[in-house]
Structure 1
């Protein structure tokens, strides 16, 4: 009797799962000698699929104390925008309102080239 073979099948992400609008933004420094930042500037907007971080994602966050974390998947923006950990993310959903998310990790899918997975975190020291 032949043994059944079990192969891992990657979860299917499609445009129908990407329902939540997100904004990627940066701050510009305040003019003058006083420290700080002012006025956020939206650098990219798109729709994303949002879900809880996996064990792999939580391992990445072990080096910093985090209050909250989520993982998002967006369509690869190609040359329109390069995801940078110098930017912040705003999730336009009532459950995540008024939260400024830091980009903790970016995973490009080199086999598929259609999506980018981004780990977002709110650090305890902020």
Structure 2
């Protein structure tokens, strides 16, 4: 089965990193579509992308989807994450590692923004 690695930016503020870890717990409870769901951080916090992918590979992952938890396709999404993923692909060419679209590319993101903004009214 496929593993999922959700990649967030990472923060010096541990509460922000904890939000991501809590999201991962909720995702694990919400679906059986993935054999494992974990998080990693682009910078500042751990596990790093390399650590997260290596952990999943050591758990037997043969296919991994990396999901950038970012709203816009800036440098981190278009360059930094792919470069870090490629380093692991080069070390483990037998593992199928795919990068999903970033969160902001989701078709229903408009509705989510409207719903959240409406809660403030």
How would you bin the TM-score normalised by the shorter chain?
Answer: under 0.3
Structure 2 length-normalised TM: 0.25
Structure 1 length-normalised TM: 0.25
Name the structure where strand makes up a greater proportion of residues.
Answer: 1
Which protein has the larger Cα radius of gyration, Structure 1 or Structure 2? 1
With a CA cutoff of 8 Å and minimum separation of 6, indicate the structure with the bigger relative contact order: 2
Name the structure where helix makes up a greater proportion of residues.
Answer: 2
